[in-house]
Amino acid sequence: MCKRVPDAADRWLFEAAALGLHRGEFVAVLGESGVGKSTLLHIVAGLDRKDGGTLCFAGQDLDALDDDARTLLRRRQMGFIFQAFHLIPQLTVAENIALPWRLNALPRKGLPERVRKLARFLGIDHRLEAWPRELSGGEMQRVAVARATLHDPALILADEPTGSLDPDSAGQVLELLRDAGQRAGSAILMVTHSDVAAACAQRRFRLERRGLRQL
């Protein structure tokens, strides 16, 4: 797929980024700041539009879906860890984590225990009743990871998921992502500046103006 520089119709951000992900696979995309890593993830999630090329999910051409179908697919099949977390300030940590589950109208039975178990694994179970404004950056990042993985999505899109974490916590979060992938067969597409984080992935690419180069 390709994408023009948002403010310049005649310049490419990336010209031909070709990538296929299999179920359960963990792929990392490295790249300099401003090269378009977040934009690439947003396009895959349907939050931004591409300027050419095709995008398929489980054999379905995503361009053939209308906005509602695309939103439904994103909600059910994808989990997004945003670079700036995007936690909802009016909801507690537990409510933020449970949000995709509730939006998908999944059965409520066992939900609090599921949230607690995941929060325990991420070391944030003592913060479940806190408000996002009371959290440190690292805690917010863990909440964002929990929220993106609780509903076992087929595809997890992770934008710098370890950017606010110390090396030990970063290692834990990457382990959780890998576990989530293995448990639910989720594919993970992570963009990052960090060579250390990217080393956890099975395949690594570098995003450049010409496209993705396998490392």
User: What Å distances lie between residue 211 and 37, 50, 112, 123, CA to CA?
Assistant: 11, 13, 43, 37
Q: How far apart are CA 142 and CA 176, in angstroms?
A: 10
Which member of 38, 96, 149, 164 binds ligand ATP (CB under 6 A)?
A: 38
Q: How far is the CB of 164 from ligand ATP (least distance, A)?
A: 13
The C-alpha angle with vertex 52 and arms to 51 and 56, in degrees rounded to 5, equals: 115
Confirm if 191 and 38 have CB atoms less than 8 A apart: yes
Q: How far apart are CA 105 and CA 89, in angstroms?
A: 22
Interface segment toward ligand ATP; rule CB under 6 A; list 37-45, 92-100, 114-122, 128-136:
37-45
Q: Quick check: 204 binds ligand ATP (CB under 6 A)?
A: no
Q: How far is the CB of 169 from ligand ATP (least distance, A)?
A: 20
Q: Quick check: 35 binds ligand ATP (CB under 6 A)?
A: yes
β-pairing, 203-208 with 211-214? antiparallel
Nearer to ligand ATP, 36 or 100 (CB): 36
Q: Quick check: 79 binds ligand ATP (CB under 6 A)?
A: no
Q: Quick check: 10 binds ligand ATP (CB under 6 A)?
A: no
Instruction: Say which residues have a Cβ less than 8 Å from residue 91's Cβ, sequence separation at least 6.
Output: 99, 132
Q: Quick check: 37 binds ligand ATP (CB under 6 A)?
A: yes
Q: Quick check: 161 binds ligand ATP (CB under 6 A)?
A: no
Binding region for ligand ATP (CB under 6 A)? 6-7, 13, 31, 33-39, 83, 193
